[in-house]
């Protein structure tokens, strides 16, 4: 029977990594892989994480099972950063569990959506490709709306999607640092979105994968908190992979908010049973390291300072692209007002190929670039290549 399985297409990002690695040119540029890079092109381990890991090695006294909910100390100490320090549990309406990265959180959230009887998920287009892939694997229908137009969010498309939503629909929204466009909703737009969702029967699924990489930890949580203050229930997917540099350690969390605190145990029991059937329990090490950071004021301050440095470097890159302005046949100005790791440059497929073959600059076929791959040493090279291939 295994021979009846159909060959699946290779992952486009993995293929891009291979192409870049096989390119012998010394001045090649990798703008494809979605990880932060320093001005030297490295993806380092946070110093705060190193210190937390050292404490774990010295003090951790067991590797016994924790259960499908994972490290609840990590889950609870993360909550004030996500939901605000004043009342992070929203009066006993919010509880969470650890997951294997943001992807595990999304998989669990959408499986709960399916189990609860929802049939369809409204998703902006373009979105992170795994959003639609997970929905498809779970048998959830996807209704797409246009996420952005020009340099800003396409609010008319979002209004239309919400207005035509049906009973049994959920909506998946990026909390900040939209992947792949970098185009976020403004605070005023989030205010409107919260009102529209409050007047609907739609279940919000909020994906907060890049908190702190846009405008700041508090600023990046505005939209999520505004929606949660307006709706009776929601699912919140969180990733520490980017803002703690824990990519391969897979550190995430899923939170559920319910209308009645009496329902919270029932809802979380479904999260636990789904997790048990998928991965049994999440890997412990990365979540434990984050918990250790939150338990130590000095380590927390060190982590936040490192995060500030990451964000400011990427904002500096964006500012340089914005200053470049009209470059060949494209305008790089909008990149300066966008957030996070990613932006989409409107290249044609032929221009994407020319950037690779003629200039050794690698990024996704969609035109999505990882701005963290640009440095003082290569940004002028990138801008010149853009001008040449789009002229």
- CATH number for the domain that contains residue 112: 3.40.640.10
Helix (H, G, I), strand (E, B) or coil at 362: strand
On whether residue 223 sits in a domain, the answer given is: yes
Q: Which two tokens stand for residue 351?
A: 């221009």
Q: Please provide residue 22's backbone torsions phi and psi, each rounded to the nearest 5 degrees.
A: -85, -5
pLDDT of residue 31: 96
Q: Tell me the β-bridge partners of 148.
A: 153
Domain count, the chain: 2
Q: Is the peptide bond before 29 cis (omega within 30 degrees of 0)?
A: no
User: Which residue range forms the structural domain that includes residue 16?
Assistant: 11-44+311-390
Tell me the C-alpha to C-alpha distance, in Å, between residue 68 and each of 99, 108, 205: 9, 12, 21
What does the alpha-carbon distance between residue 194 and residue 191 come to, in Å, rounded to a whole number? 5
Same domain, 223 and 280: yes
Q: Which two tokens stand for residue 145?
A: 């709306």
Please choose, from the candidates 109, 121, 138, the residue with its C-alpha nearest in 3D space to the C-alpha of residue 270: 109
Residues 243/108/343/286 CA torsion (nearest 10 deg): 20
What does the alpha-carbon distance between residue 228 and residue 91 come to, in Å, rounded to a whole number? 12
Mean pLDDT by 10 residues, the chain (391 residues): 90 85 94 92 95 96 94 97 92 96 97 97 96 96 94 95 95 98 98 98 98 98 98 98 96 98 97 96 96 98 98 97 95 96 95 96 95 95 97 91
Same domain, 288 and 317: no
On whether residue 86 sits in a domain, the answer given is: yes
What does the alpha-carbon distance between residue 62 and residue 71 come to, in Å, rounded to a whole number? 13
On whether residue 236 sits in a domain, the answer given is: yes
What does the alpha-carbon distance between residue 170 and residue 274 come to, in Å, rounded to a whole number? 19
Same domain, 90 and 22: no
Known catalytic residues are 128, 207, 242
pLDDT of residue 8: 87
Burial (Cβ within 10 Å: 0-12, 13-18, ≥19) of residue 139 = exposed
Same domain, 103 and 131: yes
pLDDT of residue 17: 87
Same domain, 205 and 315: no
Q: Which two tokens stand for residue 5?
A: 């399985």
The sign one gets for the Cα dihedral 100, 265, 139, 275 is positive
pLDDT of residue 9: 85
Whole-structure pTM value: 0.94
On whether residue 2 sits in a domain, the answer given is: no
């Amino acid at each position: 029977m295994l021979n009846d399985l159909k060959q699946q297409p290779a992952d486009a990002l993995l293929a891009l990594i291979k192409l870049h690695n096989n390119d012998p040119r010394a001045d090649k540029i990798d703008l494809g892989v979605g990880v932060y890079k320093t001005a030297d092109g490295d993806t380092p381990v946070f110093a705060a994480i190193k210190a937390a890991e050292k404490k774990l090695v010295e003090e951790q006294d067991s590797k016994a099972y924790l259960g499908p909910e994972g490290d609840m100390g990590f889950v609870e100490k993360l909550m004030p950063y996500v939901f605000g320090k004043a009342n992070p549990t929203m009066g006993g309406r919010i509880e969470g569990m650890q997951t294997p990265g943001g992807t595990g959180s999304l998989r669990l959230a959408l499986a709960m959506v399916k189990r609860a009887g929802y049939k369809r998920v409204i998703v902006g287009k373009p979105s992170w490709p795994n959003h639609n892939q997970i929905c498809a694997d779970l048998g959830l229908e996807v209704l797409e709306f246009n996420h952005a137009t020009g340099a800003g969010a396409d609010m008319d498309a979002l209004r239309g999607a919400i207005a035509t939503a049906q009973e049994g629909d959920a909506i998946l929204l990026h909390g900040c640092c939209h992947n792949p466009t970098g185009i976020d909703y403004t605070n005023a737009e989030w205010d409107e979105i919260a009102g529209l969702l409050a007047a609907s029967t739609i279940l919000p699924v909020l994906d907060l994968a890049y908190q702190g990489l846009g405008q700041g930890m508090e600023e990046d949580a505005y939209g999520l908190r505004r929606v949660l203050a307006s709706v009776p229930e929601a699912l919140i997917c969180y990733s520490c992979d980017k803002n703690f540099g824990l990519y391969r350690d897979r550190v995430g969390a899923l939170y559920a908010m319910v209308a009645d605190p009496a329902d919270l145990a029932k809802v979380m029991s479904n999260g636990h049973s789904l997790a048990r059937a998928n991965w049994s329990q999440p890997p412990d090490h990365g979540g434990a390291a984050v918990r250790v950071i939150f338990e130590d004021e000095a380590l927390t301050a060190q982590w936040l300072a490192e995060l500030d440095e990451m964000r400011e470097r990427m904002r500096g890159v964006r500012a340089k692209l914005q200053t470049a302005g009209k470059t060949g046949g494209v305008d790089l100005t909008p990149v300066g007002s966008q957030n996070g790791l990613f932006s989409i440059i409107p290249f044609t497929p032929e221009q994407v190929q020319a950037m690779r073959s003629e200039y050794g600059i690698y990024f996704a076929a969609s035109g999505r670039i990882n701005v963290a791959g640009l440095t003082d040493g290569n940004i002028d090279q990138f801008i010149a290549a853009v001008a040449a291939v789009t002229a």
